Every structure is written in C-alpha cells, then in structure tokens.
Structure 1
Amino acid sequence: MRRVEVIEDFERQFNNLRSKSIRYFEVAFQDLSGVIRGRILKPGKADDILKGFRVDAFSTGFTSVENSDVHLLPDPHTLRLYRTRMGIVGFLIGDFYIDGKPFELYPRNALKEVVGGLRKELLLGAELEFYLARNYKPLDMGGYMDLSPYTVNHEVLLEIIENAREAGVEVKAGHHEVGPGQYEIVPPPLNPLELADTVVFLKKLVWETAARSGLQATFMPKPFEGLPGNGMHLHISYVSGGRNLLVEEGELTSMGSSLIGGLLTYARPFTLLTNPTVNSYKRLTPGFEAPVYLSWGRGNRSTMIRVPVGLEGLSGTVEFRLPDSSGNIYLKVLSTVFSVSKGLEDNIKPPPECHCNVFESKGLERVPQSLGEALEIAGKGVNGIEPLKPFIEKISEAKRKEWIAYLQSLNGHDHGSVTQWEIKEYFYR
C-alpha cells in the first residue's frame, strides 16, 4: 500500500473514531534501553497525529547532545484501541527520521529493513511472563498452571486477555506461572516486526489493566529474591509454501540444526541485547529453570534451546529460552533473526544434544554472569556481526554507565541478591 493510500485509510479510521467519542491517542516508541516513551495527543484531525513530533534523541540514548533532534512519525499500521484509565485510547508506534530519512540507529527501522529482505516466512512467537503485585508483593500464592480460585487471581488475567482481544491481539493462551503472582500470556506467531510491535503494546496494556485494578504489573527479569524470574522465550518457525523447514515427520531437519547452531554461536556476544540489564543476570542462575549454559535438547527445559515435543514427535518450532522482556524488543528480535539467518546461511552445526539436566552438567560454556561480563564479551565481538556492531557499540555506552551506577550503589558489596537500586530502576520497565 502506497503512503498516500495509508494516509487516506487512517483518515477514514480517525473520522470514525471521532464519531465514537475517542479523543486521545498515544504515539509511542522504545528508547535505546527499552523504556516505552511517547506523547499523549488530543488531535482535532488525522494530520495532527500523522505529522508526528520532534523527539530529543540524546535523552533517549540514540545520539550525542549536539545532534539530538529527530522526528517521530507514527506508523498507521500499528494503531490499536485499548481500555485505559482515560477510557478507550488509540495507541500507535512511531519511527525516527532525520532529514526525511529513516534514522539508521533506530532499531525498529533496522528490523523493518531486515524483515523486508526475508525470503521465506520466518515467524516468531513469544511467551510474555510477568508478576502481578500489590505494594511490591506477589498478588497470590498460586503455582504453575494452578486453576484453584483460592490461590490465583484469574480475574485480572482474563481481563488482560479480553482487553487484548478487543484491541485486535488474539492472545492464544494464558496461565499462572511457577512463581506466586506470576502469569504468562502468549500472543500468536507473527513476522518479527509485528511480534516486536505486539510485545510493546501488550506490555503497555498489561500495565494499564493492572493499574485499573489497583495493582502493579512488572516484567522485570528478577523482581523478587528467591522466586522464579520473568523470561520472554521466543518460538521460531520457518516455512516455505506451507512446508515446515525445521521439522519433517517429527524429526529435526538439517536446516533446523543449522538454525540452532546459529542461535548458540551468537548467544554470548548478543546477550547484551537479549538480556540487557543488571537484573537480567539475577534471573540467569541455576535452580529456577532459566538457561545458564549454551546447550540444546528435545523437550529439555534445562537447555537454552529447546525443541518442543508434540503428540507425534517434534512440534515444529525451536524455542530460544535465553531472552527476557527487559530492554529494547527490536534489538532483541533483530539479534535473534540475525543469528538464525547466519546459522542457515553458513550451515552452522550445533554441538551434541544434551539429554541430561544441564544444571548438573560440567564443561559446557556458560552465558555471561553479569552485565559487566556481557559488556566485556560484546566488546570483543566475533566475526560476521558487522551489521549489528553500531547498535552494540551504542548500547554499550549506556550500559557501562548503568553498570558503574549499580556498582557504586553497592559500596563494593555485591552478594548477588536483588537490590533496591534494581527495583527502583527496572520494576516498571
């Protein structure tokens, strides 16, 4: 669809929404560190939204202070209507432009370009885990897939699912997770850009739905000491002409093996993107089902890469269990798509499959154990990641400051526990 047709279509939608008394619109973006930012508009006409507005790219982590003006143009395709404390509001995601051209260091622009070049249909699914809390304490005492009305609070979960459905996001499933007050929702598989946009929107929707009930919702990787962390497992499928290229007749194909090989090869240098906060590494510890070692296996939840098992052999997707939902989702998806593509292009074969409990294994290569180590590994780099180097270098600048601020808050005593500094920094991100 040409730009003029997109504008005309949005104008028709806008006039229809005005007739239904929908007055407010949010135009949002993720800054380099993943904070959802934006502006609330009360437009009189469609162009008041479509013309966008100026953003300080220095304060949002993208540019130097002496060259900080960028223009945010909303993408009309991202329009969602959802219930908030202000009533029903329109939500759009925008892109950064400089001098009329897409800003190269804006991750969504880069992901749009990558998705446009994919030859086969690569789909991503996501498991979004979060805690519901009251006064920073888990809301209930439920456990994994608990259905008891005495130990869980499914009213809020069902409200989240229904609000998402009204907004056009058909959440496939939702359930109580392992931790008390911990829940998971699963949007449908989508192309990588659509999946990233959906994650941004669902985070905002979950926050709003919880707040309307007087609750807090957090996607923080490890919000509570001693309890399971929040991950964002990515499920990868790859098809061509309706044919699954990763699994055939219930068994992993050569392409499936290469895809796994790519994910494992680039996992460590890209951990800064998939797990980008101090708190991310409090989740990546043995004993809580979060992956710690570079490994893969069929149906093995202790491995980093899991090939789920269905009724008749393997289910047809590959599950990447390392990422969490903190940070910039477009960088996370971009690095995952890059790893998958390199694995397939270079025919990278993975190490032998792990059939045991990986947490009890020895000799396997480990993911970084802190943000400081992730910065060090990303700084060394590996051959072949040149397209993502500008993003790694830019985010490293911000993350070094974050790591130093964290260390200073400890006064030299890091015992690995979740600190108040982290709660203040990440609980609402």
Structure 2
Amino acid sequence: MSGTRPPAAPEPGGEARWQRELREQFPIVTAHPELAYLDSAATSQKPRAVLEAVQTYLTTSNANAGRGTYPWANRTTELVESARARVGEFLRDPDPERSGVHFTSGTTEGLRTVARDWLVPYLGDGNGNGDGGEILVPFADHRANLDPWLEARRLLAERGVDVRVRALPYQEVSGDYEHRALADAVGPRTRFVAATHVHHVYGGDMNVHRIRAAVGPDVPICLDAAQSVGHLPVHLDDPALDVDFVVFSGHKAMALPGTGAVWARNARGPVFRPAGWQGTPNTVGIVSLRAALDWLDAAGPDRIARWTAGLALRLTDRLRHLGPYEILGCPAGLAVGSPLPAAQRRHGIVTFRHRDIPSDDLGFILHSHGFMVRADGLCQAGADPEEGAVRVSLHVYNTAEEIDRLLAVLASLT
C-alpha cells in the first residue's frame, strides 16, 4: 500500500522534531490548528498513510474476500490473510504456527466472541458434573470487559453448569488491581481470568504479570488491550505478557472504525475458533488496520508511549496544584520526579473532576475553548453514571502547547 511513512530513526534528542513530523501527517489535525483533540482513548485520528491505503484499495482491487477467483478477489483475500500475519508480527507473536488471529468489529465484539465461543464450551464441556469452577473478572474496568463474562455465566447456567464469578481485587484509590489480595481470590477452582492491560479511566498499567504469578501457569487469561495496542509496545514474546487472548480495536490504533482483532495463543484450553458462518469481513477496515500497524511500527510505539506519558505527567504535575480538581487514579505518579516506576506512569490518560462544576458542564466549557475531551461516566462498570468525570486522552499528534493551553483554561475556573 502506498502512503508516506514517518521517519523510523529520528535524530538523537530530536523528539520535538520527530513529533512535529508525525503530527503533520494527520490531515484532520493540521486542518484545525485552533482545536485540540484530546479523546484518543475513544478513537484515534488517522494518518495520511492509512487514508491513502484505503483509497488505493477501493480504487484498485475492491472485492469480496474468499468469494471469487478473479484477480481483484484474489488480491483482497491475500490482503486479509497477510493482515492476520501482520497483527501477529506487530504483537511479536512467539509461536505463530500455533496461535491465531481473528478479525472482529472491535474490542467489545472480540471479548464477547471469546466469552460465547470459547469460554462457554471450555467450562461447559469439562467434567460433566455441572461444576464450571470460578472465573475472575474486572468489576471496575470498561463494561465491555465485564458484561460478556456475565453473559457466559448465564449461558452456562442454562446448560446446568454452575460458574461462580468473582471480582478481581481492586484498589479504588490507585485504580490498580489489588495484587496482594489476589492470592486469596485464586483457588483450585479458578478456571479463567479476564483482565485489562491499561485502564481506560486511570491510564495505569494493570500489571498482568502479577495476575499470572498468582494464578499459576495453567489458567487462561484474556486481556483487554483496547488502550494499549497502538499506544505503547505490546510484545507477547515478553514473559510479563503471558496471556492467552489479546483483544483490541483498530479504531483506537489509527485504523478505521468497525475493525479489531482477537489474538489467541491456543496453548491452554481448546483452540479458539469463532462459531458460526462468518460472512463478509470488513475488508476496508482490515486494509486500514494493516496500514496503521505499519505506520505505528515505523513511528515507534515505544517513542509514542514516552511522548504521551510525558504529556500526561506535564498535565498531572500542574493540575494537582489547582485546588478544585481531583485527579483520579494512583496519586503517587502525579508529580515530576515521582518514585513511581516509569512503567507505572499514566499511559496518556488523565481523568479528573472539578469540586464545584459538574463534569458534563466542564466538558462543554472546555469545548468552547477548543478542547475535545470525554466528559461522562466513561463506560466504567460499577461507577455511578451521574457522577461522571472529564478524561483527557493523548496521542502522538498532541503537543505540550495544547496541554499548557488546557491548563490555563482549567486554572481560570478555580
């Protein structure tokens, strides 16, 4: 696919120049310099390379995949299959001969597919005595990583299989799992764990390696990676990411809406295969996803992560001194020079409330000054939808100048 790629190896110390060159590749951003898009946790903007890849596909080889033998159809089929391999390569799949990549409409559908098509048979076809054991799931993460597992429990109950759902221990103050309490939550009947890689409200790494240490080597773990893939390195050849499923959305990783992927390790439990007739894949979305992964690899996910973490730290370090604001999540990482390890910094997500201004009103105020933020209940399971919060979520096209302008507006409201 054609398209301009970002420089893969910027000059040492040239982070600002590197970022400017990347920012210029986002037409919607450069067309509106008066606006600051601060909602990348909801959906990311698209670089020119992705837009050009889509345009090229639609004007040269648009056809159905796996449904014909003429050249356009063959080319589309090849693009879809090569995109599967590209996802595994991007994630540094340690065993591509065994694992599998399946395209979905996004994280929500992907997690539900794992729940219905893999977890239900896995727990329902075991010992046949109606005891499906226990599963650990997050009750304070995105609803998309809770509702599918509760649905799986209902489906199993209809089969006469009893599954106990237990909540992952959670620290309300820090926004992290309570890893010291995991030992008490895990037992011999623990059969499955669903977890989140980066929290969509607090922006913290949820330390999945500690979950693996607690549950042992045999329990499957499904990871919601909606806020990590495309935002920071996600390397499955790292022992710290010894998980069995990685599910993510393309639209949060600079691809078009309506596409995502489930990566399955296929090393614990049965091989993952979505049930039923799959129908026509979202070929345009899959083409955009491959182009987005190429772009991200060239830009450097590690550098993107450092850039957005730096902006988040710039915001929290100053916002914590503005009295009316409460910053949600771990308080240890709010200040420059914090002893918190770099891996535990906020990964480009900062969520806060004003003591006197309702969050939805604050969102409208910020929009009147040119800032596009999320201001509502943030789809957090278990949260009071009336309380709400303002979330600033960043990507590589955001700048320090935008953060400083935002802080000036927030300071004027104290």
User: Aligning the two structures, in what range does the TM-score lie when normalised by the shorter sequence?
Assistant: under 0.3
The structure with the greater share of residues assigned to strand is: 1
Q: Give the TM-score, by structure 1 length.
A: 0.22
Higher RCO (CA-CA < 8 Å; seq separation 6+) = 2
Q: Give the TM-score, by structure 2 length.
A: 0.23
